[in-house]
């Protein structure tokens, strides 16, 4: 078969999802990625001058047309319920409100990153970022 | 040891403009 064209997502996972990675919160506190809680993101966004947290509800999860290693996740974002689709590696973790790290293929996430992870499902509400209104 | 900012970990999803 012909080679696949490039996809919108990076070919490998970013290093900060590996268990033990040190994350700096907006107030300067350092935490390991696996220890992050919903409140850490909320409090960091409150301090941030540019970023705010949106609630992004998973509306659909399907396999990518370009590669079996990728999935397309469709979100309903924010109060206006804007529809946004992202193509990600199946092991790419999202942070679900009140629950923690979740991915389309949690076994792979745990295997590759050692990051404790649950299965991302339709209806899950993920933390996403958007810009604060700058007027 | 590298230190990563908190906002790297969650996706930036830009909702469509309205209002």
Q: Report pLDDT for A116.
A: 95
**Which of A44, A86, A128 has its CB closest to that of B6?**
A44
- CA A64 from centre of chain: 17
- Mean pLDDT within B13-19: 59
Whole-angstrom Cα distance, residue A30 to residue A24?
A: 5
Whole-angstrom Cα distance, residue A35 to residue A33?
A: 5
Nearest CA in chain A to B3: A22
Between residues A31 and A9, which one has the greater pLDDT? A31
Report the sign of the C-alpha dihedral through residues A112, A113, A115, A117, in that order: negative
Could you tell me the pLDDT band of residue A10, with boundaries at 50, 70 and 90?
low
Whole-angstrom Cα distance, residue A83 to residue A75?
A: 6
Whole-angstrom Cα distance, residue A36 to residue A44?
A: 11
Q: Report pLDDT for A5.
A: 36
Question: Is residue A44's pLDDT more than 80?
Answer: yes
Q: Quick one: which of A104, A98, A101 has its CA closest to A120?
A: A104
A1 min Cα distance to partner chain B (Å): 33
Question: Using one digit for the tens of pLDDT, what is the confidence trace for A79-128?
Answer: 889 999 999 999 999 999 999 999 999 999 999 999 999 999 999 999 99
B5 min Cα distance to partner chain A (Å): 5
């Amino acid at each position: 078969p012909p080679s696949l064209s490039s996809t919108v997502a990076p070919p490998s996972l970013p290093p900060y999802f590996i268990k033990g990675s040190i994350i700096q919160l907006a107030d300067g506190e350092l935490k390991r990625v696996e220890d992050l809680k919903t409140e850490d993101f909320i409090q960091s966004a409150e301090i941030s001058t540019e970023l705010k947290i949106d609630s992004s509800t998973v509306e659909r999860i399907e396999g990518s047309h370009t590669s079996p290693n990728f999935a397309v996740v469709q979100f309903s974002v924010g109060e206006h319920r804007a529809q946004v689709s992202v193509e990600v590696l199946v092991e790419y973790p999202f942070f679900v409100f009140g629950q923690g790290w979740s991915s389309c293929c949690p076994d792979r996430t745990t295997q590759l990153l050692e990051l404790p992870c649950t299965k991302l499902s339709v209806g899950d509400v993920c933390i996403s970022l958007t810009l604060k209104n700058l007027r | 040891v590298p230190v990563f900012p908190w906002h790297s970990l969650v996706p930036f999803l830009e909702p469509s403009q309205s209002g």
